[in-house]
Amino acid sequence: MLRRSNCGLRLLALTAVLVLQGCGAVYVSPDVHAGAGGVTVVPMTAESVRLANQSPYTPRAIPVAFSQNVTPNDAHASRAIGVLPSAGNAPQPSPMITRIPPQIDPGPYRIGPADVLRLTTLPATNTGTGLAVQEAQTTYTVQDDGMVSIPAVGRVLVQDLTLAQAEAQLFESFVSARIDPTFSLEMAEYHARTVVVGGAVAAPISVPLTPQPLFLDAALARAGGVAAADLTDASIRIYRDSTLYQVPLSAYLATPQFQKIRLLGGDSVYVDTGVSLDQAQAFFARQITLAQTRHQAQAQALGVLNAELDQRRATLSTQRTNFQDQLALDAVARDYVYLAGEVSAPGRFTLPFGRDATLADALFSEGGFSSQTGNPAQIYVLRAGDGGAVTAWQLDARNVGNLVLATQINMRPNDIIFIAEQPVTRWHRVVQQIVPSLITSGAGLAAN
């Protein structure tokens, strides 16, 4: 009688365990309940995503040290170079025998320091009724090191390139910087290569070379023409690459071939009215001195400039390293999104610097979710609003096409991404908790 009573009590206890488990007293499954605690469930659609993205948020900016380029300061370089002396007017020398410089075709014009390039871009602007194309032109001066510094692109080497080659170089730089390479490039001003004309001319001048050939007669015309009254001993002397050439002025005027002597960058032309070379020698020596002075001044300026750039690079490198160390120690304020439920890696996703992150970024960068345990019909983005109200945008990914919405809804700080479990997963977990109890209870009954 006592044994029968004990069996009845054990059976009653086992029944109570099953009832408690069936009521959820043993296993509690998290879920999103509309209306409970001020939660509003909103199906995720293109329209609701648009409304969700209207929530104001400005991504944290990456430190300025990571967006700065170390570029020369033109004003600083100018101060370092200083003002070079002017060629001015020189005394007047004289001719001897006829010696003609070789006719050399330098080929296409190649860009050099002090040249000015004009960059024309075609950005698209929204006028409200459609896209309109509006040109934007900017000029850039080629620096002493042969580079141009373009914002958002960086420094590009263009020295000794033809215009077509420079355009191709800029195209590659634009593509590397992920900027729309829709632009045109042209020469705005020519300053890199010049021919100096002095002596018995109306107005001594420095003539810049362009892609068009510069002939002797045109250079003299640019200087106002020859101002020599007596042609008996007058001559035109040309100094090129350490060699002196000369043409009697009378022969120059009588011979079209002499008038079409092609001049090259760095040539010095002197109209001499005497026989002695002393005054011509003084003029050419002055040109050499000017060139050397300019070269030395530029070398000194570049040395100062390079030292300044090295210091800037070191400063930027230190700032970047310090920031990265702080980032590694979690000493930098960041914004987070939290992942819970049937995600592959519950935890937090750090919102990036300088841009928005989407649900797809936060979910799939952390491994996504398991299709075996997670319910694709119940993927939620929970966001707290004013007054403690919570909006839960529900993504039904049973139709895989709806996953596109996950790439469109932007995350906000403290959003919670939650994925509910499959119904079969819930039952499986209940069974996993019940079976050990059944085994323990059965073992106890068998022992008695």
Q: What is the dihedral of CA 84, 85, 87, 90, to 10 degrees?
A: -170
Q: Tell me: the pLDDT tens digits for 106-136?
A: 899 999 999 999 998 876 444 454 444 556 8
Cβ-Cβ contacts under 8 Å for 301 (sequence gap 6 or more): 77, 80, 81, 144
Prediction pTM value:
0.45
pLDDT of residue 84: 41
- pLDDT of 369 strictly over 60: yes
Q: How far is CA 323 from CA 60, 248, 314, 319, 330, in A?
A: 14, 72, 14, 6, 10
Question: DSSP string of 72-105?
Answer: --HHHHHHHH-PPPP----------S-BPPP---
The CA distance from 364 to 362, in Å, is 6
Confidence of residue 39 (pLDDT cuts 50, 70, 90): confident
pLDDT of residue 78: 41
The mean per-residue pLDDT over the stretch 434-439 comes to 62
Q: Tell me: the pLDDT tens digits for 41-100?
A: 999 999 999 999 998 999 988 887 676 555 444 444 444 334 444 444 444 444 357 889
Structure tokens that stand for 423 in this block: 């119904």
pLDDT, the chain, mean: 78
Q: Which amino acid is at 272?
A: D
Q: Tell me: the pLDDT tens digits for 196-208?
A: 998 889 989 999 9
Q: At what angle do helices 74-81 and 278-328 cross, to 10 degrees?
A: 140
Q: How far is CA 414 from CA 351, 355, 377, in A?
A: 10, 16, 23
In the chain, what are the domains? 2-60+334-442 (3.10.560.10), 74-109+192-296 (3.10.560.10), 116-189 (3.30.1950)
Closest CA to 140 of 116, 162, 157: 116
Q: What is the dihedral of CA 407, 122, 116, 240, to 10 degrees?
A: 100
- pLDDT of 443 strictly over 60: no
Q: Tell me: the pLDDT tens digits for 155-197?
A: 999 999 999 999 999 999 888 888 888 888 999 999 999 999 9
Structure tokens that stand for 126 in this block: 């929204």
